[in-house]
Amino acid sequence: MTALSPQARTRALDTMGDGRELDVVVVGGGVVGAGAALDAVTRGLTVGLLEARDWASGTSSRSSKLIHGGLRYLEMLDFALVREALRERGLLLQRLAPHLVRPVAFLYPLKHHAWERVYAGAGVMLYDTLSLSSGSARGLPRHRHLTRRGALRAAPGLRKDSLIGALRYYDAQVDDARFTEFLVRTAASYGAHVASRAAVTGFVREGDRIAGVRVLDEEGGREIEVRARQVINATGVWTDDTQALVGERGQFHVRASKGIHLVVPRDRIRSTTGLILRTETSVLFVIPWGRHWIIGTTDTDWRLDKAHPAATRKDIDYLLEHVNRVLVTPVTREDVQGVYAGLRPLLSGESELTSKLSREHVVGSPSPGLVVVAGASSPRIG
């Protein structure tokens, strides 16, 4: 596998800037840009990939780290979205990245007798069935119904009065930043020219066409021009900013919805499995992560610096309050060893409530030679 070394970066910038025309140049080194670059280079195209900061330094290192079909999208009757995501989950688990993606169990505590078990049970059964029918269930155990006793055996840290039983089902998880970097390195090993700390500052026009990008080497300070037949703008929550550099009104707008996660030591919550808990508007995950739990997430508008989203006291209290509703021993602020915040790129204009904005991505071509992948907040979002 190719090393992403400073020397390789300099070579990539030299090559991209030597006047040749690439088939594709991708702007944005998050999971979407890295994936697009890998896809293009493995089709035999000549490819460049430019990232303003570090690989995955945007949203792609700040997610819930789940590879899931989005159980709650079943409730919105979006079967096609869930099925597609489950097929991808299976491919990642079995073929594409079995060394990075692994199964994770979740307990869904039931609070109401009869109807909830039937309703939620039908949901997870459909989830497993969709996964089976997409040919991707191999490697993941099927869901199970648990009595209260069974659930407390699996998660002794849960309050006895917080559940009457539970469902246990399986999904998958991944180190999101490592996965993105793995995509970049694989793309580079197929011959893609990849450079981090290389910010696109403008677009090269030839008549109506976009014919490339202008790039600032943030390490050396030089400016280069990278020419390409197609430019792909994959800049996530920065889409509106990068589209403004084109100098045309965009076809759609992307807004940022902030989600935070708390990182707490594993011994603070006694459980052998992850938890998925219902909140008033969405769900909350307690996800095993090495020697820690990740607790998330929130969903609020963010209009400040996109490079540095930050958690507020209110965000932290919201998560603690919700998770503590079901725990025997509450998690306190002192237990929190880390907090991270990320920004979901959401297509705006569909609804005022960010949790209702579409999680699907849109691919548009606002000008000849330019493709924008926007939204892409992933159907697998928590």
Ligand X SMILES: Cc1cc2nc3c(=O)[nH]c(=O)nc-3n(C[C@H](O)[C@H](O)[C@H](O)COP(=O)(O)OP(=O)(O)OC[C@H]3O[C@@H](n4cnc5c(N)ncnc54)[C@H](O)[C@@H]3O)c2cc1C
29 counts as binding ligand X under rule CB under 6 A: yes
Question: Alpha-carbon dihedral of residues 319, 53, 360, 302, nearest 10 degrees?
Answer: 40
Does residue 183 contact residue 38 with C-beta atoms inside 8 Å?
yes
109 counts as binding ligand X under rule CB under 6 A: no
State the DSSP H helix or E strand holding residue 264, giving kind and residue range, or none if neither: strand 254-265
339 counts as binding ligand X under rule CB under 6 A: no
380 counts as binding ligand X under rule CB under 6 A: yes
63 counts as binding ligand X under rule CB under 6 A: yes
For the bound state, the minimum distance from the C-beta of residue 37 to ligand X, rounded and expressed in Å, comes to 11
48 counts as binding ligand X under rule CB under 6 A: no
Q: Which residue is nearest to ligand X (CB)?
A: 30
Does residue 127 contact residue 112 with C-beta atoms inside 8 Å?
no
For the bound state, the minimum distance from the C-beta of residue 152 to ligand X, rounded and expressed in Å, comes to 27
243 counts as binding ligand X under rule CB under 6 A: no
SS3 call for 66: strand
47 counts as binding ligand X under rule CB under 6 A: no
Q: Which two tokens stand for residue 30?
A: 């998050």
Beta strands in 33-183 (DSSP E): 47-50, 66-67, 102-110, 144-147, 165-173
185 counts as binding ligand X under rule CB under 6 A: no
Instruction: Compute the distance between CA of residue 357 and CA of residue 191 in angstroms, rounded to an integer.
Output: 37
State the DSSP H helix or E strand holding residue 271, giving kind and residue range, or none if neither: none
| Residue from 349, 250, 217, 261 nearest 59 by CA | 261
State the burial class of residue 214 (Cβ atoms within 10 Å of its Cβ: 0-12, 13-18, 19+): middle
Q: Please, which residue, 33 or 165, has the CB nearer to ligand X?
A: 33
Which of 73, 238, 293, 318: binder of ligand X (CB under 6 A)? 238
Residues 245-284 within binding reach of ligand X (CB under 6 A): 259
Instruction: Compute the distance between CA of residue 238 and CA of residue 30 in angstroms, rounded to an integer.
Output: 11
Contact region with ligand X (CB under 6 A), list: 15-23, 55-63, 102-110, 132-140: 55-63
348 counts as binding ligand X under rule CB under 6 A: no
Which of 234, 262, 275, 371: binder of ligand X (CB under 6 A)? 234
Give the count of residues interacting with ligand X (CB under 6 A).
Answer: 40
Which of 22, 32, 37, 226: binder of ligand X (CB under 6 A)? 32
31 counts as binding ligand X under rule CB under 6 A: yes
Instruction: Compute the distance between CA of residue 29 and CA of residue 234 in angstroms, rounded to an integer.
Output: 8
131 counts as binding ligand X under rule CB under 6 A: no
Measured distance between the N- and C-terminal CA atoms of the chain, rounded to whole angstroms? 32
For the bound state, the minimum distance from the C-beta of residue 60 to ligand X, rounded and expressed in Å, comes to 3
Q: Please, which residue, 167 or 198, has the CB nearer to ligand X?
A: 198
Instruction: Compute the distance between CA of residue 161 and CA of residue 327 in angstroms, rounded to an integer.
Output: 10
| Residue from 100, 59, 365 nearest 210 by CA | 365
Which amino acid would we find at residue 222? R
Cα–Cα distances in angstroms (integers) from residue 124 to residues 84, 140, 145, 220, 247, in the given order: 16, 13, 10, 53, 47
Cα–Cα distances in angstroms (integers) from residue 365 to residues 84, 104, 155, 248, in the given order: 24, 38, 49, 12
For the bound state, the minimum distance from the C-beta of residue 137 to ligand X, rounded and expressed in Å, comes to 19
Which of 25, 26, 27, 158: binder of ligand X (CB under 6 A)? 27
Q: Please, which residue, 165 or 274, has the CB nearer to ligand X?
A: 274
Q: Please, which residue, 72 or 270, has the CB nearer to ligand X?
A: 72
65 counts as binding ligand X under rule CB under 6 A: yes
For the bound state, the minimum distance from the C-beta of residue 136 to ligand X, rounded and expressed in Å, comes to 15
Which of 17, 24, 30, 49: binder of ligand X (CB under 6 A)? 30
Instruction: Compute the distance between CA of residue 64 and CA of residue 319 in angstroms, rounded to an integer.
Output: 14
Contact region with ligand X (CB under 6 A), list: 72-80, 157-165, 232-240, 324-332: 232-240
Q: Which residues bind ligand X (CB under 6 A)?
A: 27-33, 50-53, 57-60, 62-66, 199-200, 234-238, 242, 259, 297, 342-345, 376-378, 380-382
